[in-house]
Structures are given as C-alpha cells and as structure tokens.
Structure 1
Amino acid sequence: MDSLIKKGYIGNPAQLVTLRRVEVREGRAKGTEIIEVHTSGGLQLDILPDAGLDIGQVRYRGINVSWMSKNGYDSPSIISSHEMEFINSFPGGLLYTCGLRNAGPANRDKGEWHPLHGRYHGLQAEHVCANIEENEIIVKGIIRETALFGHVLQLKRVIRIPCDGARINIHDELTNLTPRDEEIMMIYHCNFGYPLLSEKAKLILPMERETIPRTEFAKTGLGRVCEFDAPIDGEEERVFFHKMWKNFCATLQNPDLGIQMNLSWSGDTLPILAQWRCMASGDYVLGLEPTNCYIMGRHNERENGTLPVLKAFGTVSNTVNIEFTDM
C-alpha cells in the first residue's frame, strides 16, 4: 500500500482495501460486531470478535465460497450464554473453532459436563486490534477459557491477510496458565458451500494417507471420498478421518467456476484431517477440519487413550492457511 501511495497511484488505502468494524442492527444477530475485510485480490470476509475471532461468510471474486447454516449469525448474548443447543445455534462460516477442552459429542468427563464441540465459539475476544501494516491486514486478539479453581487456557490468535491477495493465515498460540497439565481438544472446522461446492467440484488429498470412516454409512462412501453429488433430500452425513504423514494439505476445485481453495496446516500439532461430507438438501456442506483428536468427545477420547495433553505452563502453536486462486 505504501509503495502505491508513494508512486501516486492512490491517495487512500481504502480505495483498494476495506478494513472496518461494524455492528448488526437487526434480527437474531443484533449486536454482533463484524470486522469486514475486502482485499484488492478479490477476497471478502467477516471476522467475528464476539465468537473467538472465528470467520463467517467469505467470497472470492464475488463468488460465495463458505457455508452458512440455516441459523446464520447469533447475537453475542446468545452465543456466550451456552444455553442454546448447538443444532439451533451453529452458524457455519468459513472457520468455526471447536474446543478448547471438548470436541465432538456433549459428554460428562470426570463429573464435569462438556457441551457439544466445546465452549470456544461462545468466548468473546479481548484486546482486539485490526490494522493495515505495509501490505498486510493483521487482526489480533486474546481468547480465554477459564474456571474457578480450575483451568486457565489462553489463546492468542493472529489473522494475516495480504492486501493484494486472497490468502488467510490463522496462527494460534494456546497456553496452559496453571501449574497442572490440562487436556485440550481442538478442531479448525473449515466449512465450504455452494457454489464452490457442487457436483462439479473435486477434492484433492495427498495419496499418502489412511482414511477411516466414522460410521457404517460413511464406509459405503469410501470409493467417492473426493467426489460430490447434487443435493439429496434426507441424505445422511458422512465423516472420514484422514491420517497423513506428510503433505498436510487439501485442495477443493470447481472447474465450472474456474476457482480452487487450497488448505494447509501444521501437521505436527494437527495430525488428523476430519472430512464432513453432507450432501443433504438445505444442509449442503463440505467441512475440512484439521484437528488434534478423533472428535469422539472428551470422555471417549480419554478412554481411547487419544486425549491430547498440554503440560503445565506449556504452549502449543497451530497454523491454518486458506487460499483461493483461479485454476
């Protein structure tokens, strides 16, 4: 941006880039703050401080690429109350972070109740700042999940977006601020929808992987993991777990639109890619979800010996990159 100003092409960065904080004034999302980002590379997205700096609706070159559920955005008072059932409040969006202490079904573990997919999305970010620095949009914030006499988990999130590009880099540092070990579960629930997702789309995954279906019905789709159907009334969802050893990446292409999405992540901390393939009419979505667990819920992961542990005063760093390009 600075170089374009110095060369005289523009006098105001807002000519090419939008970065502003707005508030929804009506409907069930009334009171929700949104950080709107538009880049000169054709990327438009909503960043949600009231929902842990997750990412809502996203468009690339004017084409919708994210999935929004029937629920849509909710107000901060509903999100943070934890009283709404997940099925009635899950908004979808490009990124819905699950955790920090449960991922998967609601369950009781060691006498403590854990809601479906945890409490993260209901936590409001603190110390939020959004700036344009040189040729990059940077949004930062801190999210804390705590309990009296219990856990203190602090997540520092930094989102970086090039002003002239269509790439989103999410970098999280999660720290256990107590003198005892704490089990953590995290899913970066990335959701893609129509028209990027359609029967014309194709998913490309690394060849070196092991694919595990979650249910017997999912097993029937093993031969078509990377293919999609037109919407089907009442179609049951399928979930697959992809264990990868290198090349932690996935690509979703739509030749009819001439665009593709490239997803990559830190495989050392997020060794599993969960794939949520739902072809149901009205709930038509592909979820690609880098995770550190098998999404069985805290209690079952403990019983299975797959519940990750963050050491006392330890920190773990996760990175997820999402980029949209022309084919």
Structure 2
Amino acid sequence: MKLKQTFSAVVLGLAAMNIQAAEFVLTDSTKGTDVGDWQVSNSSLGLKSDDHFSVEKRRLHGGKQLGVDVIIVNNGELTVTLVPTRGMGILHVERDGERILGWDSPVKEVVNPMFIDLESRNGLGWLDGFNEMLVRCGYEWTGHPGVDENGQLLSLHGRVQNTPASNVKVTIDDIPPHKITIEGDVSERTFKKAELTTRTKLEIIPGENSFSLHDTLTNHASYDDEYQIIYHSNFGRPILEEGAKVTAAASEVSPFNDYAQAGLESWQTYLGPTKDFDEMVFNLKPIGDEKGNSLVVLHNRSANKGVAVGYNVKQLPVLTLWKNTDTEKQGYVTGIEPGTSYAYNTKFQRPLGLVPTIKAGESKHFDVTYTVLRNEGDVSQALKQVDTLQKGKPVKQSKKLIVDLNKVQ
C-alpha cells in the first residue's frame, strides 16, 4: 500500500493514523506549490529498518546556483544527490562521507538553467553548467552542436538537462525493504515543434550499493517525432587514475574522429592527468544477453574500486566512451554513455539509423543501473558478468570512421 497525500496531510496524519509509508509531493507546477526545504527518514515514518535511510530536499543559494533544488537520498550505504532544477540529473554519489561517483569540473556551482544560454559559443553553452555524474542528453536532439538539415541550430546535447522538473515526488514503500522512489517530470514543449515529456524515476533500496533509473518518454503531440537520448555518465577520482581500465560487453570499437585513431589500441586504459590531451571518443557496438541487458565496468588501477553501468541494448543500442584525461583543473574525467545515438550531430546520424521515431501518443522506456564496486570481490564479479556476455570473443578494433567529419564538413 502507498498512501498518496500532500506533504502537509502526511505530517498531520502520521501520529493519529500510525502511517508507515507515504507519497510526498515536493513540487507541483499545475498547482504552483513547492514544499521548500524538507526531509523524511525511516525514524520519522516510524519504520523499523536495519539500514537507516533519509530523503532531504534543499534549496541552494548564492552565485549561479541561486534557487536550485537538490534532493539528497541516503540509503544507509550510498548518498545520491539529484538536481530537479537541472533535468533530474545526478550531481554525485557518496559513500562513507566521500565522493565515489562523480568528477571535478571547472564548473563549481550547481548552475541554475536561467543562467545558461545553450546557443552561446556556437551551441556550446551547455558546458557552462556541466559538472554532474549523470546528465541526460536529449530528448528532441543530442550530440555535437551544428546546423541541422532544415537550417536549425542544434545546441550541444539538447535541452533536457537545463529544464527544471515540473512535478517531483518521493515514494517510500511500507513493506520491507522499503524501496525509495524519486520521480520527476521534465517537459520539452514548443509550439509547432516538440511535445515530449519524460517521467524520470530513480529507485534505490536501503542498504544496497546500487540504484537504477527507469525513465519513460512520451510523445503527446498529434504527429510522430524524432527523439534521441544519451545517458552521459561521468566519472573521475577516486576511480579514474593512471592505469584505470574500462571493460565493455561489445562486438566492435572504432574511433569517433581522426584524433581518436591514435588511441584505438589503448582504448581500454587511461592516462593520468595529461596537459594538452584533447578528448578522445570511441564508438562501441554493445552486445547484451537474450533480454538485451549489457554491462560496462570501470575500475581503478588496483581493481579494488569502481562502477558498473548496466543498460539494455534494445532501448539504448549504442555506447560512447569519452576519455578526457586532461589536467585536474581542466577536468579529469571519463564518460560512459549508452544511448540511442553516438555523439555526432543529428544530421550525421540519420543515415546511420540512429535518430529513431516516436509515434504520436507513444511511450519509450529506458532503464540504466549504477552499481558501486566497493572492493576486489565486487570488481571481479562485475568483470565476470562482462566476460559471460562476450562469450570468449574479443572486442574487434576497427579503424574505419563511422562518420568522416573531414568529408562532411
């Protein structure tokens, strides 16, 4: 049973009715309501749990993060910080008080989208707010900026990450293990253009070292439309270091451009911070099991800490690997990016069949799971899962460019 009530109703009813679980509406744009700073825990709900858990909403102040809302979910093992103001992205994940998933961007504040001009710097304005562990890129378009075939400037990686969620709610199951669910609606609605909405959903169970995203994209228009999505998952210290390694279930890897060709043979391993290292990007053709489930593992040099990213190739058929091992101050980071598309501009991906269509009234579903690998045993187990998917076959290295940018520009 889940009781759907407003925040105030739940608070008033807890003592009198001994309510043990509830749905808390934090933001509702249709009613113009918001609870402001807020928190709840297993103790305040009267739930007996082996793992203490809590959910807190805060509003940030100062600089360009003025008015930004964050939701901090502590499941007793991990602390996940979401940003409803920035498309329900995930800022970082902590364990034992230290960041385990995330990276150090030159962008230090959680930037309010009101300070972002996506079309600045010839469509690179998205970078003015880029510092999250998980960024959804899309949904109307994604990829590198450029002018589309119809003459429209498509800015870097779309608009969704700089769109505040319209409605946000928290649900905590009354039955053990007391799953915590955070939902937020993000809309891309433009007159005569797109009418896409995404119900984002994060699920996490108290005491577990993983969490999952279950997103639903719906086309509310009367006409079919294109869509694209990349789950731009970004990791730096403490996992990324010289000798760190990525292992993906894939049949083939190829360079994104000429510059990446030089790093093809060492695509799985990482340098330490390296001045004047330009970003290297690789296109992978992932493989999954009979249900389409696939896995990517990134671990440190000692293979005793890391992250596993699980996704479904029927939903997200391609994988981009972004290696940006520049200096620490410039942004030492790598991106593991399952998606419907690679990172090329949209007009280059249509001939590849990587700009899918969503029919009028149709919904598309995307599921991604992140598992924090805490020790050698966790890393070893995750790598064995990738080996099982590979079935003893190596990842083929192809020097052929999927898109030759020298010829198309």
The alignment's TM-score, normalised by the length of structure 2, stands at 0.73
Unaligned runs of 5+ in 2: 1-19, 21-41, 376-409
Larger Rg: 2
Alignment of 1:155-304 (within 5 A): 155-206=198-249, 208-247=250-289, 248-254=294-300, 256=302, 258-282=304-328, 283-304=331-352
Larger RCO (alpha carbons 8 Å, 6+ apart): 1
Q: Which amino acid aligns with 2:190?
A: A
Structure (1 or 2) with the greater helix fraction: 2
Report the equivalent of 1:59. 94
**C-alpha displacement of 1:308:** 1.3
Counterpart contact for 2:118–2:156, Cα < 8 Å: no
Counterpart contact for 1:68–1:93, Cα < 8 Å: no
Residue 366 of structure 2, aligned match among 303, 311, 318: 318
C-alpha offsets along residues 231-287 of structure 1, whole Å, 9 cap, x if unaligned? 001101110111023251111122548322111012101011100011110321110
CA distance in 1, matches of 2:335, 2:202: 20
Structure 1 residues 68 and 181: CA distance shift in structure 2, 3 A: farther
Aligned residues: 318
The CA RMSD measured in Å over matched residues stands at 2.3
**C-alpha displacement of 1:325:** 2.7
C-alpha offsets along residues 289-317 of structure 1, whole Å, 9 cap, x if unaligned? 00101221122223554321112221110
Moved runs in structure 1, 4+ residues, more than 4 A?
Answer: 10-15
Counterpart contact for 1:68–1:91, Cα < 8 Å: no
**C-alpha displacement of 1:76:** 4.0
Residue 79 of structure 2, aligned match among 36, 44, 49: 44
Residue 117 of structure 1, aligned match among 143, 157, 162: 157
Range that drifts further, 67-76 or 281-290:
67-76
Residue 54 of structure 2, aligned match among 18, 37, 41: 18
CA distance in 1, matches of 2:156, 2:47: 49
Counterpart contact for 2:142–2:228, Cα < 8 Å: yes
Range that drifts further, 146-155 or 251-260:
251-260
Structure (1 or 2) with the greater strand fraction: 1
CA distance in 1, matches of 2:339, 2:217: 14
Instruction: State the secondary structure of the residue aligned to 1:37.
Output: strand
The alignment's TM-score, normalised by the length of structure 1, stands at 0.90
Structure 1 residues 74 and 14: CA distance shift in structure 2, 3 A: farther
Report the equivalent of 1:126. 166
Counterpart contact for 2:119–2:125, Cα < 8 Å: no
C-alpha offsets along residues 191-211 of structure 1, whole Å, 9 cap, x if unaligned? 0011111114221222x4110
Q: Which amino acid aligns with 1:19?
A: V
Residue 138 of structure 1, aligned match among 181, 188, 201: 181
Range that drifts further, 107-116 or 92-101:
107-116
CA distance in 2, matches of 1:244, 1:88: 27
Please tell me whether residue 105 in structure 1 is matched to residue 144 in structure 2. Answer: yes
Residue 92 of structure 1, aligned match among 107, 116, 131: 131
Instruction: State the secondary structure of the residue aligned to 2:71.
Output: strand
Structure 1 residues 308 and 223: CA distance shift in structure 2, 3 A: same
CA distance in 1, matches of 2:316, 2:64: 34
CA distance in 2, matches of 1:44, 1:255: 24
Counterpart contact for 1:246–1:267, Cα < 8 Å: yes
CA distance in 2, matches of 1:234, 1:289: 23
Q: Which amino acid aligns with 1:125?
A: A
Residue 69 of structure 2, aligned match among 25, 33, 40: 33
**C-alpha displacement of 1:15:** 8.1
Unaligned runs of 5+ in 1: none
Counterpart contact for 1:141–1:158, Cα < 8 Å: yes
Instruction: State the secondary structure of the residue aligned to 1:296.
Output: coil
CA distance in 1, matches of 2:49, 2:71: 17
CA distance in 2, matches of 1:302, 1:179: 22
Instruction: State the secondary structure of the residue aligned to 1:226.
Output: coil
CA distance in 2, matches of 1:325, 1:40: 16
Structure 1 residues 201 and 112: CA distance shift in structure 2, 3 A: same
**C-alpha displacement of 1:54:** 0.8
**C-alpha displacement of 1:50:** 0.6
